Structure 1
Amino acid sequence: MEHSVLSDIGAVWDYIVVGAGSAGAVLGRRLAEDTDARVLVLESGPTDEHVREISDPAAWAGLATSRYDYRYVYAPARHAMGQSIPIPRGRVVGGCSSTNAMLWYRGHPSDYDAWEQAGATGWNFRSVLPYFRRAEDWEGGATALRGTGGPLRITRSPDPHPIARALLAAAAECGFPVLEDGNGPDNEGASLANLNIADGERWSTSRGYLRPAMAWPNLTLLTDVQVTSLVVENGACTGVRVASGSTTRVLSATREVVLAAGAIDTPRLLLLSGIGPAAELERLGLPVRVDLPGVGMNLQDHPLLKGMNFVARAPLGPIHDQGGGAMMNWKSDPALQAPDLHAFIVQRPHASPELRARYDIPDDSFAISPGLMGSKSRGYMRLLEARHDGAVEIQPEFLAEPSDLRALASAVETVFDLAESAAFRDLVLRPASPARRLDRAGREAFVRESLSTFFHVCGTCSMGTDEMSVVDPTLRVRGVDGLRIADASVIPVIPTCNTLAPVVMVAERAADMMKEGT
């Protein structure tokens, strides 16, 4: 059942899920499935149903700063010319899976072995692979690494744009492997993109998980409602305080509350409830219920160059798929265990308004945009006001680690190699931004001025076993009974991929843990 009126629902539930986004939609479905448990999913945004901009893959870029976005912005980048970089976050049922670029990647197996090494015991690749596979309905059929029959449709383009085809040919010409599947045995090389698109429409966690379960009597979705704090009594979370317009209520959970509000709003909610670094809570005038110094720390994201643009020789034609269609992973250093650099094609100009003006990038341009998936820099988020709708400071500290700057600067050279290959000869008239190859200092300057983000923010309630960990390896919040977190905030080390697939995996496993009582 779906409601948008707070007074319409009961006061007591077995499970309360805060957030109906990429993780929350998964949790709602799985916690209600094959059980009589009463499950309530709370979403601050509106429904995603019958919204053309959401269902149409080619329209996704316009969702940023729309009514379906939280409109968060990173604090000025200290190492990137003081830029304030937007970080789109979906404020709608399905969350970022309803507003993102529809890319499905799990990264390299070593990413999850790194989680275990960081203290997330039992979260190595072998242990998490079944949850990736369970989520998938992969067009290529089931293998040891891929799943079929799951809620999320995953396809490749049936008609790749010529630029996407050119990237594969250029990669081969430059000595990189061309992969049948970027989620196959190895992810180093170029491939057509794995897309959450089916029958020409976006396939979000809302569409795949939540919508098919909305007729179940034990699952309720409440939209347009704000959770303002957790109810914490005698060391246990017993429910949530919610508001909708002038109506406020306390809703209780007899089993557990699970936070799936994302890497910004989950730590915000903990802090507003008195759970976090004692000094921060005292600064805000909030009670210190549990001193957890890691709340809001360890923020990670993937930096992206927006972008390396090339003027096309001829009109590019209509957009195919979601405006991309092909990607490539490679190593900035051959000694690395796994690829740390990534590039994807954009079938239109890909640059900030400032860069478009500075470089005079015409409309008949396209981009090969590189980014750093193996970023090392760490940042933080903190509250500036002790209100659920108050200001926050979100600082990723992009390029704070010199190795991140060096890797991105090297990616600029690789993209020029690709664009100057025979595969792109009939497509590229000339480079636009930058307008020519650069020396090392020039490349580093270009990185700083064109820096943006994949908006893969994560890590702010990290999983582990040390004093900076917010949740333990069962995703329970340390020091609070009856409360778990299952979203991007628990990721201890950012994986070398788009973060939707890892978040869905975390939610799938969290639901099993909650139902099993582990």
Structure 2
Amino acid sequence: MADFDYIIVGAGTAGSTLAARLTEDSSCRVLVLEAGGSDRNLWLKLPVGYYKSIYNDRYSRLYRTETDVGINGRRMDCPRGRVIGGSSSINGLIYIRGQHQDFDDWALQGADGWDYNSVLPHFRTLENYAGEPSQYRGNLGPLHVSDLRNRNSACDAWMAAARASGLPLNQDFNAETTFGIGSYQLTLNGRFRDSAATAFLKPAISRPNLTVNLHANVTALHFEGNRVRGVKYLHRGEERQAMADCEVILCGGAVQTPQLLQLSGIGPEKLLQRHGITVRYASPEVGENLQDHIQMRTIVELSRRGVSLNDHVRNPLRLAKMGLEWLLDASGPLTVGAGQVGGALCTRHADGDRPDLQLFVMPLSVDKPGKPLHKFPGFTTSFWQCHPESRGSIHINSTNPLQDPSIQMNYLSAQRDREVTVEGLKMVRDIYRQPAFRSEWTREIIPGDGCNSDEEMLQAIRENATTVYHLVGTCRMGRDSNAVVDPKLRVLGVEGLRVVDASVMPRITSANTNAATYMIAEKAASMIRAATDTTNHQGEFSHATT
């Protein structure tokens, strides 16, 4: 027998969750291999610390896309978490599942058993929500979810303006609908970030049936015939191999999972042949179907000093007050994530009453996380199209597993994406100009007063829009022959191999993707354990892939 039953590649959102759930069965031996290191750093604990950590190469793999005509020939930075907890340790903490129809769409595209009613129990099981109980929410799970703990008068004025524009108040975006405006929920446990590492992996780390190796870069899958039996990896420069009795489970995310599959001979035939890789299984969509939300940040300069966080960070007394609020009450600006308030709305291009635009509002302004806040009192409303139609790809550049693959996003390549985004800019400006908010600001910084026609607005979007770090879809699940994994997340064409991460999403969720990734791992653990229980009842513990 091998040393382990399951080998999990990656200790990110999905990998940490899956490892914790599988090892609840004391007879199940699990090895987790994570390329990054420990999360013992204050910036990874402090909620607002994502501004410091997301572009820090100690905790993030700093991928860059190829040049993209859709964004005026720019290359987009695409950081992915390289630390236990993965991107859940460096993201903006927003916890929002997405629209009910998002998951119904998955089922319609062949992901049987992934409709909203089927995934809701898994969302509820993983959550420990501190707000009002309801049939939609869970309050006994490992992951702590908290309502907003900071008030800002400019955000309150923006909310009043949004309501005046016709948007209803929504008390919980994770309940009946995402439509309307309200405050965002965050993955907070007390005054600290709650990540997949702190909520799932660390509480399980003392179990004797769980082994976690950090700084371990998986370089290849090990096959015996058509079955994956283990992995090869580099651990602090030393070549090693590990074997699994049941399965190898890839949790590397939308970039690294398809890269490893392609390097192992599972992928588009012509791509593999071009790099001299023996084709084990010609799977044409490995690395295809890449999706992301692209956001446009609009910035205005507030008319009053002392309201924007741009001012607060330059005022020693304000900084001291923020520190005390965080330390004594676990509240205030240091507990915020990537958005304080916002919501979902329908442009004229929306499909019925289903929102096609997501908004995030912050009483600050900055060029990008990690850069200093602007010196003027800035205020930002970011928005993105909920259901982009543009598709990109992940392709290996060589047979070197440590070399970054080619990431081609093709942002705004679909006509509908351009139309919805331009319409979104018009609607955001309409909220700014409502009487409840118009007196709060003096001038529009981005895109600026000279941007008025549709052509000018689209050009401003191409020049300024940025990723929201929501890369998904490159190992699409479905029941058709071109799908990469089946609805039980088993890789088609080989045995003993599963994918459990955001790459399996057939279509991107309408809002932030982290909550849905937790759910994917939670549901995957249930499926794997159910299969294991079945084989145990049959008198044998092996190959839990039925």
**Inter-CA distance 246–350: structure 2 relative to 1 (3 Å threshold):** closer
Aligned pair 1:324/2:327, yes or no? no
Do the aligned residues in 2 keep the contact of 1:361 with 1:433 (CA within 8 Å)? no
Map of 2:21 onto structure 1: 30
Q: Does 1:364 find its partner at 2:372? A: no
The answer on whether the counterparts of 1:308 and 1:350 sit within 8 Å (CA) in structure 2 is no
Task: Please state if 1:222 is matched with 2:236.
Answer: no
Shift of 1:161: 2.7
Q: SS at 1:299's partner residue?
A: coil
The offset of 1:362, in angstroms, is 4.5
| Match of residue 500 from structure 1 | 514
Moved more, 171-180 or 427-436: 427-436
1:420 to 410, 428, 433: 433
Distance 1:488 1:335, change over 3 A: closer
Q: Which amino acid aligns with 2:490?
A: R
2-structure distance, mates of 1:423, 1:256: 58
Shift of 1:11: 6.5
Q: CA deviation at 1:121?
A: 1.2
Q: TM-score, normalised to structure 1's length?
A: 0.94
Q: CA shift at 1:384, angstroms?
A: 0.9
Distance 1:501 1:281 in 2: 33
Which residue of structure 1 lines up, in the alignment, with residue 42 of structure 2?
A: 52
Q: Percent identity?
A: 35
Cα gap change, 1:164 to 1:151, in 2 (>3 Å)? farther
For structure 1, list consecutive stretches of 5 or more residues without a partner in the other structure: 1-9
The question of 1:439 aligning with 2:453 is answered yes
- Return the offset for 1:31: 0.5
Aligned mates of 2:50, 2:154 — CA distance in 1? 19
- Tell me if the contact between 2:94 and 2:337 (Cα under 8 Å) persists in the aligned partners: no
Contact 1:45 1:92 in 2 (8 A): yes
Q: Distance in 2 between matches of 1:65 and 1:346?
A: 20
Cα 1:407–1:143 shift into 2, 3 Å: same
Once the two structures are TM-superposed, the CA of residue 44 in structure 1 deviates from its matched residue by 0.2
Amino acid of the residue matched to residue 390 of structure 1? Q
**Match of residue 346 from structure 1:** 362
The residue that corresponds to 2:352 in the other structure is 336
- The answer (yes or no) to whether the contact 2:2–2:245 under 8 Å persists in 1 is no
3-state DSSP of counterpart to 1:466: coil
Q: Take 1:155 and 1:196, find their aligned partners in 2: how far apart are those partners? A: 6
1:310 — aligned with what?
300
Q: How many equivalent residue pairs?
A: 503
* Alignment equivalent of 2:115, drawn from 118, 124, 131: 124
> Does the residue aligned with 1:298 lie in a helix, a strand or coil?
coil
Residue 193 of structure 2 aligns with an amino acid whose one-letter code is R
The whole-number CA distance in structure 2 between the counterparts of 1:105 and 1:17 is: 26
Q: CA deviation digits over 1:17-37, x for unaligned, max 9? A: 100001000000001013321
Question: Structure 1 residues 325-334 or 274-283, which shifts more?
Answer: 325-334
Matched residue SS, 1:172: helix
- Distance in 1 separating the partners of 2:71 and 2:365: 21
Question: How large is the Cα RMSD of the aligned pairs?
Answer: 1.9
Taking the TM superposition and a 5 Å limit, the aligned residue runs for 1:57-96 are 57-66=47-56, 67-96=58-87
Q: How far does the alpha carbon of each residue in 1:148-173 deviate from its partner, in whole angstroms, 9 at most, with x for none? A: 11111111122223333233222111
Structure-2-length-normalised TM-score: 0.89
- Of 275, 278, 281 in structure 1, the residue corresponding to residue 269 of structure 2 is 278
Partner of 2:231: 240
Contact 1:75/1:395 (8 A) holds in 2: yes
- In structure 2, the residue matched to 1:142 is 133
Is contact 1:14–1:38 with CA below 8 Å preserved after alignment? yes
Code of the aligned partner of 1:246: G
Match of 2:198 among 194, 201, 207: 207
**SS of the residue 2:254 aligns to:** helix
Q: Give 1:467 shift.
A: 2.5
Aligned with 2:406 (options 393, 410, 430): 393
Inter-partner Cα distance in structure 2 for 1:186 and 1:501: 16
Kindly indicate whether the alpha-carbon contact (under 8 Å) linking 1:324 and 1:347 is maintained by their aligned counterparts in 2.
no
2: CA distance between counterparts of 1:207 and 1:330? 34
Q: What's the CA shift for 1:291?
A: 1.2
Deviation per CA, 1:399-449, whole angstroms, max 9, x where unpaired? 110110111111111111112223324532221112226121111111111
Q: C-alpha distance in 1, partners of 2:340/2:83? A: 25
Question: How far apart are 1:337 and its partner, in Å?
Answer: 4.5
> Partner residue of 1:3?
none
2: CA distance, partners of 1:35 / 1:423: 58
Q: Is the 8 A contact 1:164 1:324 kept in 2?
A: no
Distance 1:56 1:167 in 2: 26
Q: Distance in 2 between matches of 1:423 and 1:351?
A: 27
Q: Write the distance in 1 (CA, Å) between the matches of 2:245 and 2:365.
A: 52
- Point out 4+ residue stretches in structure 1 off by more than 4 angstroms: none
**Equivalents in 1 of 2:133, 2:343: separation in Å?**
23
Q: State the Cα distance separating 1:323 from its structure 2 match.
A: 5.4
| Contact kept? 1:299, 1:380, Cα under 8 Å | yes
Contact 1:304–1:452 (CA under 8 A) maintained in structure 2 = yes
CA distance in 2, matches of 1:296, 1:179: 37
Q: Distance in 2 between matches of 1:481 and 1:296?
A: 20
Shift in alpha-carbon separation, 1:426–1:212, aligned structure 2, 3 A: farther
Q: Secondary structure at 2:80's aligned position in 1? A: coil
Matches for 1:110-121 after TM superposition, within 5 Å: 110-121=101-112
- Quote how far apart the aligned CAs of 1:43 are: 0.4
Task: Give the direction of change, closer, same or farther, for the CA distance of 1:15–1:141 in structure 2 (3 Å limit).
Answer: farther
Aligned pair partner of 1:250 in 241, 250, 255? 241
Deviates more, 1:85-94 or 1:136-145: 136-145
- Structure 2 counterpart of 1:488: 502
Tell whether the 8 Å contact from 2:63 to 2:404 is kept in structure 1 after alignment. Answer: no
In the TM superposition, residue 395 of structure 1 has moved relative to its aligned partner by 1.0
- Residues 127-136 or 316-325, more deviating: 316-325
Conservation of the 8 A alpha-carbon contact between 1:351 and 1:450: no
Moved more, 343-352 or 499-508: 343-352
